[in-house]
Amino acid sequence: MTDSIETVTVADEDAGGRIDRVLAARIPSLSRSRLKALILGGQVTIAARTILDPAGPVKAGDVISVNLPPPEDPVPQGENIPLAIAYEDEHLIVLDKPRGLVVHPSAGHATGTLVNALIAHCGASLSGIGGVKRPGIVHRLDKDTTGLLVVAKNDKAHKALSKQFADHGREGPLERAYYAFVWGGFDRPRGTIDAPLDRHPYSRERRTVREGGREAITHWDLLETFKGTDGKPVASLLSCQLETGRTHQIRVHLAHVGHPILGDETYGTGFKTKAKLLPDAAREALASLGRQALHAYRLGFEHPASHEHVSFESALPPDLEALHKTLKNQR
């Protein structure tokens, strides 16, 4: 394959604007992150002068040439990993992610990831999108969080979906909801946790609530309350909605307000003794769970091609359904 070239002439109303923003507006098939990478890689010129600053200003009448090299083979290799597909078309794929599956290659997880499975399933349609190690990835779920996740199959879809996820449904059409089984009972039907999150000062893999951190807002609704062997509330089932999308946000926020997620070995270890208050069957179900009891059960968004609102729901996976059933038996 040979390189292709996109040419843009700067209009009067775009004069003085950043080159990456002008190009993103004029070449909608390319995401801004892709354009930034092309600029930094020396693939963008004005009058034969190579532009290396994505924030550099442009003048009216400038003719910008964008050289598009053939897509490079992604570093990760395709692997025959089964995928639970909720929906698929030429633009995107909605998956029901199982427990234990890492979304993209990272330190300690070079293979066996969702990306490896996607490369095998989708082939070259994912190349060059989201970076070589994250082709098509718009958002993530933790390794042991199950549920719905959407992947873009082309740059146009990636750009449109990323914009919706950046808004987190504040004003746009995005819907994301999670089931969370948490310790303790609640004295009100719903609430909001507004607490900034930052990296933990002593553990790079953890997050913590800390003044000066990034804004993080989680809304919750109480769905069910479960009693322990002493007849008092021992656990609850919540529906959580994100207004921001920070790493481990729901897990850290719920632990911060004293209701960590059942089975969360990172943020809920101080509540292990509460397990003795569970009915025998529920205690056994929790012991065999081996992960946080968190499931992304609803995902809705505006389709990047049809612009119709699409929505998907996922039932509790077998391990959480077993936990749910044993907890309900004590109500």
H or E stretch including 66? strand 63-68
- Write out the catalytic residue numbers: 142
- C-alpha closest to that of 226 among 279, 273, 276: 279
Which residues make Cβ contacts (< 8 Å) with residue 90, sequence separation at least 6? 153, 154
Whole-angstrom Cα distance, residue 331 to residue 227?
Answer: 5
Angle between helices 318-328 and 280-289 (to 10 degrees): 160
How many Cβ atoms are within 10 Å of 92's Cβ, its own excluded? 23
Are 153 and 203 contacting, i.e. CB atoms less than 8 angstroms apart? no
Q: How far is CA 118 from the centre of its chain?
A: 16
CA dist 34 and 24 (Å) reads 9
Which residues of 120-261 form beta strands (DSSP E)? 146-152, 175-183, 190-194, 197-199, 207-209, 217-227, 233-242
Q: Computed from CA positions of residues 243, 244, 245, 251, in that sequence, does the dihedral angle turn out positive or negative?
A: negative
